[in-house]
Copies of this chain bind each other. A is one copy, B any other.
Amino acid sequence: MLQKFKEHININFPFLKDKKLLIAISGGVDSVVLTHLFSELNFDISLAHCNFQLREKESDLDEEFVKLLSQKSSNQIFTIKFDTEKFASKNKFSTQIAARELRYNWFQAIIKKHGFDYVLTAHHADDNLETFLINLTRGSGLDGFTGIPKINGNIIRPLLAFSREEILAYAKINTINWREDASNATTKYIRNKIRHTVLPLLKEINPNLLETFAKTIENLQESKQIIEDRIADISAEVINSKNDILKINIEKINQLSNPKAYLYQLLKNYTFTEWNDVYNLLSAQSGKQIFSKTHRLLKDRAFLLLSEHAIPNENEKFLITENQTEITHPIHLNFEVVQQKSIENKQIIYVDKNLLKYPLIVRKRQNGDYLYPLGMQGKKKLSKYFKDEKLSLFEKENTWLLCNNENEIIWVLNHRQDRRFVNDNNLKISLKPT
């Protein structure tokens, strides 16, 4: 296999030559063989091992094993211990996802700090086929059937073209030792079941299954590429991006051959899971919104607005006492007693300090808010005022209000002053742009 591997590297990964490589090593046969192969070929390698502390003593024994291995082969080794369960529960990740996050983030950190060029992982052809079948049993879409990429940024998977059988045979011939993974996590259970019962049957039907499958994966990756091209085209047509908010034109989406399919593709990277809710937004009332782990999608008249997730805490209030001349959070305001009005613009108002009841309050809109807009007659509901000014829902939510201690609006920041607090204009209030 060494010769075949050498040729494979030369043809598929010629750029690895003379580079500083970091091999992700668990202690299992795949990563130990990968390390052995790169050693034999005299590449400049170091090792990186994550102890996820998921299997108690076994995890520590794995760590000891790879440390010993690195000593014997005089390769530099990096190790780290993770409290994976804690990280998972804190972030509401599955253990598997948590481990992946921790592992790849750590690799990238080492790469950056120590000047490595690439991380190598030991995924092989059977892994790809097993993942395909796992995703089939779970339900999936094209993305679940296109396999692990052999090159993904600085992550390289040189064994993807090799079978578990070849790797095991190589380990045997070279009397390589490794650690068996004794894990019994659910995904491991399913993977083992597929590995030991389903795959052998499929390989009976087609003894060249792995090669056939490699071609299948390639075909599906090509399909994915075409979809990505199409989605890039469509994005340019239906999406406007402004201030980190993506504005999706609903009418244009509805004109496409399959609006749901397109909406899925446009939004699939924003951690939504309840796709029917997403689709239903297309025809929902304005103001309806749904949240993913990281994002929020809001129906706003003819658009869907996508933004990073930050549920505004509508109850949060920031107080300003009578003698305060400045606040810096959540917005930056200056208070200055003056003789008379001078500069005037949207960021500056003048009020009569004697009419204010302290402490003042900075807050977001609430139900029942109203104001007496300066320069207009009568009283107006804040909601009506916003509507007349054609503010989007996002703008409404992001607009701060300066109120007195009876919750009466003094200033709709960046928009309009209330005329009740205007008389002797001896207090200048200025908003500093953030």
Contact = CB atoms under 8 A, between A and B. Distances in A.
Interface of A: 132-133, 136-142, 145, 190, 193-194, 197-198, 201-202, 204-206, 209, 212-213, 215-216, 219-220, 222-231, 233, 256-258, 260-262, 264-265
Given A137-B206, A140-B219, A216-B140, A258 B201 contact: no
A145 to B, nearest CB: 7
A251 to B, nearest CB: 17
Contacts of A224: 223
A154 to B, nearest CB: 22
A243 B209 CA distance: 43
Given A137-B212, A140-B219, A225-B257, 14 more contacts: A132-B136, A136-B202, A136-B216, A138-B212, A139-B212, A141-B219, A141-B220, A142-B219, A190-B205, A193-B201, A219-B264, A222-B264, A226-B261, A230-B233
21 contacts: A132-B136, A133-B202, A136-B216, A137-B205, A138-B212, A190-B205, A193-B204, A193-B205, A194-B205, A201-B201, A222-B258, A222-B260, A222-B261, A222-B264, A223-B224, A225-B261, A226-B226, A226-B231, A226-B265, A229-B256, A233-B233
Given A190-B205, A198-B201, A201-B198, A216 B257 contact: no
Nearest to A189: B205
A234 to B, nearest CB: 9
Contact of A202 (B198, B215, B222, B226): B198
Nearest to A141: B219
Nearest to A206: B137
Contact of A226 (B206, B216, B219, B227): B227
A204 B197 CA distance: 11
Contacts of A215: 139
Contacts of A258: 222, 225-226
Contacts of A193: 201, 204-205
A205 B130 CA distance: 13
Nearest to A231: B226
A261 B258 CA distance: 22
A48 to B, nearest CB: 32
Contacts of A201: 193, 197-198, 201
A194 to B, nearest CB: 7
A299 to B, nearest CB: 22
A213 B136 contact: yes
Contacts of A225: 257-258, 261
A355 B281 CA distance: 84
Nearest to A129: B136
Nearest to A135: B216
The 5 A-B residue pairs with the shortest CB-CB distance in the complex, in nearest-first order: A222-B261, A141-B219, A230-B230, A139-B212, A142-B223
Nearest to A208: B139
B230 A257 contact: no
Nearest to A262: B226
B137 A202 contact: yes
B261 A223 contact: yes
Contacts of A226: 226-227, 230-231, 257-258, 261-262, 265
A197 B219 CA distance: 27
Contacts of A140: 216, 219
A319 to B, nearest CB: 52
